[in-house]
Amino acid sequence: MTRIDTSAETQSTRANEAPALIALDWGTTSLRAYLLGASGAVLDTRASSAGIMNLPKPAAEGGFDEVFDATCGAWLANDASLPVIAAGMVGSAQGWVEAPCVSTPADPAALVAGIVRVTTLKGIAVHIVPGVLEDGALPNVMRGEETQIFGALASDPTLDQEPHGGLIGLPGTHAKWAVVSKARIERFYTFMTGETFGALRDHTILGRTMRVTDQQDLGAFIRGVDTAKDAGHAGLLATIFSTRTLGLTGQLQPEQQADYLSGLLIGHELRGLNEVLAREESDLAGKALRLIGNDALCERYRHALARFGCHDARTVAHATERGLHRIALQAGLIQSTASASN
């Protein structure tokens, strides 16, 4: 597995560096909190299942304050002056306070200008980073991913040297692909790949013949990718039914069908992305790109990308905390020092 991790953090750094920032990645279903030093080194972490849709009580009754205190209260008890920055769905219309999206092309300065503050019941200021909107006939939006993208750029500035713009992929429920250039997000695309897979597996006839297994069948997955990649087929809606018919004809075993369907969907995602890039005088073949996300899922995408001729798709580690650190520096919440991304 290929993974980028340029962190300068060591055990001695953890021991010697004083806390300088509380950084929150607060999404729909979970919260991840980081205690960072001035250099960006991670000194401590906390995790909670209390995403914005899983609060212990309604927001109007102090639900966000309760989760924040439970997660970060011990850090603030040691130093109540620590600045706090947060990104993700916490800044959506359903969040603690709405931080309106900034428009593409977007750079860290635009995010800093769009920061919205909310004050907790105990008087702590939380600085919420806005999302990014690409307006147009088919608008696109991201919240949280923009911070990870700028964390990836801080870790790997070579992405800015790609002739047609660097490409950063964030596989997941709603996969994002962002074209980056001149240290800014130029444009991006969203594919509902993960959510579609779950819906088809759990709520359609395709799942009835599947057998769940802990083992990945790479051959079945690649077969799905290649089927989607074949331009001779009629597209996603026509090919997904083959998950069932290949099973009915004995060509796919029940334990292979989920991997085949996953390959089909990821293959169609990459085929669509490739077609968009081709219109911009680029494509996936031979392209250097970076992935942010779960290791196992990124590895699956690497196998799929290889079928499209892309063999340089490394995973960027610690993109979230590095992005939050970078934005906090630019916002003046912490003093500039040697960054952990150097």
The DSSP code sequence of 209-263 is: G----SS--HHHHHHHHHHHH-TTS--HHHHTTHHHHHHHTTSS-GGGHHHHHHH
Window from 97-111, 117-131, 150-164 with minimum mean pLDDT: 150-164
* Paired strand residues for 314: 290
191-316 topology per CATH: Nucleotidyltransferase; domain 5 (3.30.420)
CATH 3.30.420.300 residue ranges in the chain? 3-162+318-331
Kindly state the tokens that stand for 77: 């008890």
Where do we find the tokens 């092309």?
105
> For residue 180, is pLDDT > 50?
yes
CATH 3.30.420.310 residue ranges in the chain? 191-316
* Paired strand residues for 24: 33, 86
Question: Which string of b and e fits 111-131 if b means at least 16 CB within 10 Å?
Answer: bbebbbebebeeebebbbbbb
Which CA distances in Å does 258 have to 3, 140, 253, 319? 26, 29, 10, 30
Residues 54-71: pLDDT tens digits? 999 999 999 999 999 999
CA dihedral 6, 218, 283, 320 (to 10 degrees): -30
pLDDT for 276: 93
List, in order, residues 6 or more apart from 16 with CB less than 8 Å away.
none
**Quick one: pLDDT band at residue 78, thresholds 50, 70, 90?**
very high
- The CATH classification of domain 3-162+318-331, taken from the options 3.30.450.20, 3.40.50.620, 3.40.1360.10, 3.30.420.300: 3.30.420.300
Window from 9-18, 312-321, 331-340 with minimum mean pLDDT: 9-18
φ, ψ of residue 239 to 5 degrees: the values are: -90, -25
Question: Which string of b and e fits 295-316 if b means at least 16 CB within 10 Å?
Answer: eebbbbbbbbbebbebeebbbb
**Quick one: pLDDT band at residue 140, thresholds 50, 70, 90?**
very high
Between 12 and 301, the more confident residue is 301
**Quick one: pLDDT band at residue 338, thresholds 50, 70, 90?**
low
Which CA distances in Å does 155 have to 23, 39, 207, 239? 18, 13, 40, 39
Residues 245-280: pLDDT tens digits? 999 999 999 999 999 999 999 999 999 999 999 998
Residues 13-55: pLDDT tens digits? 454 799 999 999 999 999 999 999 999 999 999 999 999 999 9
pLDDT for 6: 36
